[in-house]
A and B are shown apart, each in its own frame.
Chain A
Amino acid sequence: MLTRLGLIAALSLGTATIAMAQDATPTDGGKLVFTAPYGNSITSLDITATPHTQDEIVAKALNRSLYKWNPEKGQPELDLAESVEKSDDGKTYTYKLKEATFHNGDKLDADDVLWSYNRLADPKKALPGAEQMLQIAGVSEFQAGTADQISGLKKIDDMTVEITVTNLADPGWNLMSNYAPIYSKDYAEDQLASKPNGLGPFKMANYVAGSKIELVKFEDYFEEGKPHLDKLDIMLMGEASARDVAFRNGEIDVNILGPVQYEAYGQDDALKDNILEVAEVYTRNIGFNPKVEAFQDKRVRQAINYAINKDLIVEKLLKNKAYPAVSWLPVSSPAFDRNAEPYAYDPEKSKELLKEAGYETGLSFSVTATPNESWGVPIVEAIIPMLSKVGVQVTTDPVESAVLSDKILSDNFETFIWSNSSGPDALKYLTCFYSKTSQTACNYVKFSNPEFDKLVEQAGSETDPAKQADILRQANNVLQEEAPVWFFNYNKAVMAYQPWVHGLKPNSMELAIQDYEDIWIDADAPASRK
């Protein structure tokens, strides 16, 4: 049986590659009891209507998209298409669809793809998944009401679709999203939220809102020999302590761990050998609002980065369930610079910089923060004495999560502490710091730097992945130098699993989202799983 999986070392492929060396040949049958740990409910069984990870955990079992994320290779790959051809100008993609069947028996065809993407982009539907359609040519005209259909989508024949995009970026990054599934055009749209009908490996058997979703194997799933499991129960369990008891009691098969449990499980002989870790693509940071005059000076922003001992916070408060951040892009990004050094803890240097910037007599600001244990009020409380030593006085502005985003989007903050997506698509997430990206889109700190802009533009028109990664690496280094945020940490996601569970993958996008079709349980599983 595989031992503990330390995955941070696997940087070169962009994500952790020490997949579960879970030997043996998969066996079919049995039941997995999975957990969705981000609350006690899901929003909707129609994933296009919601932007929440909790819903994605369920959607991954029910639906399929044109592409999928390959956690081992760290890149998107075709899922519902068997092949793709790219035009010479690099903007038109022709997909040959696979033979696949929806849960209600409908067969997948090109019209389903066109219908699903038109629906997603339809402004009248106001679906959060519309974000994934923006790269397709003609979407802006369609959304503005000047076109009835998306011009960049074309049916060539029943099983062939042509998609034209507006730039040279691989559309797989957007079209692999779980928020952009392919639905059947012939299925009643108003049924999707309660009676989902997807192309995924499992179909709905029973849904107890606020408690669990029971799924059964879809016999006509398009991948030969999959899924291995007969049944999949997804328990909606937001309480970490309740999950802990249930996991130790063998009632659930996986458990997403917080810092305290991470430490406890690591010291428990019965549990420590079945832990899966991955560096997720989230960067925790404190964003500086340039409307505060002091933050317009790079030296002040750098001084704050030097003044905080983030290694100590990661060790003591987060129990090492995080990787201290170097810059914006996480360690799992192909554009992460392995030679770059993080800001060192250097209060003297910090004082010098503050003095040079004219703030030797002091500086004060507030940090808007949620109660989150890994990137909220407890962290702010830890940095207060560190910053105080260099003459910076910090106060906390505690809020709940909906208020945090509200304050940021309305520019009503001095600084904020948040956990933001920083991958896997390095270009997409560095574009958040592009000067033309609005604050409401994702340039929350209104960052503007000509050198950075130039590099992002250059990367956007580069088709060679290696060259593009190199340019983005430079951009990421500019970002580190400019320090528009305090680079705190990259999340280390940790999942504990029962010894009879196999096929889990170190998904750096979100560890709680698994390729259920590849999971199987062995002969040692208890009777309740057989």
Chain B
Amino acid sequence: MLRFILRRTLQIIPTLLVVVLIIFVIFSVVPGSFISSLMSEGRNATNADVMAHLNQQFGLDKPLLVRLGDYLWGLAQFDLGISYRTREPVWNVIEPRLWPSIKLALAAMFFAAIIGIPLGFIAALKPGSMIDSGTMMLAISGLSLPEFWFGLLLMYVFALQLGWLPSFGYQADSIRHIILPAIALGVSPMALLARTTRAGVLDVMNADFVRTARAKGLSEPRLVRGHVARNVLVLVLTTLGLQVGSLMGQAIVIEKLFSWPGIGSLLVDSVAARDIPVVQGAVIVIVLWFLVINMLVDVAYAAIDPRIKVT
């Protein structure tokens, strides 16, 4: 197990290198620069001398390969560089956004799991029924709802009309503030989980070992609990892991809409300002989150299914 974790950890390094390289290439090709972003408001506030000094200060006047080399050397020493915009170490810019992002991703996934998995089970246990059709219609709607629109709808109903919840904002110790953004972000994974669970349960229900267990007179609840659920769990866990991993990067629209201080909105602002060190740092954090979650899922497989060995 330890060897598996070590190997997977080492595999992260080339992945990160590729990511860093891609971002460097993209930002060297796309038009616009940090300096031009300072002028984006058309207020004539930045003079040529300041621009030249800023270029020099941030090493933007150096060739791309030199900048890349400098960045990689810093990264090898766990130094993400200095933000062009705030002139602070990149980690200082990212760190306050990390926990709100993780919290939102986990809350959205919690909502998705507690609704999506039972819905999938219920639909699969009564295939072709009204419940099945209704559940799957709900799932398809959830998958196709535009997040921005759905978020606004939630604000309108639960904040403006009913007055139950705040419509926006973040408070570290408040559960009320996270409910609407978590639902808005979690509705799509909820729908996906419902569909995946339904497909998985239907598949297992038709498997030989289930037929055998049923022929031996095992009651339906015990059959579902003891045989079906456990076998479906691997599939559900895979979906869950992939979704949790990607939610941090997917939360951009929701974070913007609800003024939620996460990594996603930081990433968008940094792209607009061409603050490449922060873009790099934010992407590295998102990729790391994805890889670590999926590694944990792989480890969890072994605990759930004794047939699976992680080596």
Contacts and interface: CB of A to CB of B under 8 A. Distances in A.
A170 B159 CA distance: 50
A51 B43 CA distance: 8
B119 interface: no
Contact of B47 (A41, A134, A400): A134
Contacts of A128: 38, 45-46, 50
B168 A403 contact: no
A230 B218 CA distance: 69
Given A128-B50, A210-B265, A40 B259 contact: yes
B42 A405 contact: yes
Contacts of B258: 242
Contacts of A282: 42
A238 interface: yes
Contact of A402 (B33, B163, B172, B266): B33
A179 B272 CA distance: 22
A212 B259 CA distance: 8
Contact of B152 (A241, A407, A420): A241
Interface in B35-62: 36-51, 53-54, 56-57
B38 A245 contact: no
Contacts, number: 178
Contacts of B40: 401-402, 404-405
Contacts of B265: 40-41, 210
Interface centre among B41, B172, B260, B274 (most CB of A within 10 A): B41
Given A124-B53, A209-B96, A401-B37, A246 B168 contact: yes
Contacts of B32: 399-400, 402-403, 405-406
B169 interface: yes
Nearest to A212: B169
Interface in B70-96: 85-88, 92-93, 96
B256 A245 contact: no
A442 B43 CA distance: 9
A239 B93 CA distance: 22
Given A245-B156, A251-B166, A239 B257 contact: yes
B160 to A, nearest CB: 5
Contact of A406 (B33, B46, B156, B166): B33
A211 B48 contact: no
B152 A242 contact: yes
Interface in A261-291: 282
A421 interface: yes
Contacts of B37: 401-402, 405
Contacts of A123: 49-50, 53
B269 interface: yes
Interface string B159-183: 1100100111110100000000000
A419 B88 contact: no
A249 B152 contact: no
B31 A245 contact: no
A131 B38 CA distance: 13
A406 B42 CA distance: 11
A235 B160 contact: no
Given A238-B256, A248-B160, A401 B272 contact: yes
Contact of B88 (A126, A127, A194): A194
Contacts of A325: none
B31 A406 contact: yes
Contacts of A235: 168-169, 259
Which of B44, B97, B159 has most chain A Cβ within 10 Å?
B44
A438 B160 contact: no
Interface in A144-191: 179
A461 to B, nearest CB: 22
Contacts of A194: 88, 92
A13 interface: no
A13 to B, nearest CB: 23
Contacts of A421: 42-44
Nearest to A179: B45
Contacts of A9: none
Contacts of A440: 48, 51
Given A49-B86, A130-B47, A194-B88, A245 B152 contact: yes
Nearest to B45: A51
Given A128-B50, A401-B40, A402-B32, A211 B259 contact: yes
Contact of B170 (A208, A406, A419): A208
A43 B47 contact: no
**Most B-side CB within 10 Å, residue of A39, A126, A131, A406:** A126
Interface string B139-163: 0000000000000100110011001
Contact of A242 (B47, B53, B163, B257): B257
A473 B54 CA distance: 37
7 contacts: A193-B88, A209-B266, A210-B100, A211-B259, A246-B167, A403-B36, A405-B40
Given A123-B49, A251-B168, 17 more contacts: A126-B53, A193-B86, A210-B100, A211-B260, A212-B169, A235-B259, A241-B257, A242-B152, A242-B257, A246-B167, A248-B160, A251-B167, A401-B40, A402-B33, A403-B30, A403-B36, A432-B44
Interface of A: 39-41, 43-44, 49-53, 123-124, 126-128, 130-131, 134, 143, 179, 193-194, 208-212, 235-239, 241-242, 245-246, 248-249, 251, 282, 399-407, 409, 418-421, 429, 432, 438, 440-442
Closest 5 CB pairs of A and B: A210-B261, A406-B36, A126-B53, A402-B32, A405-B39
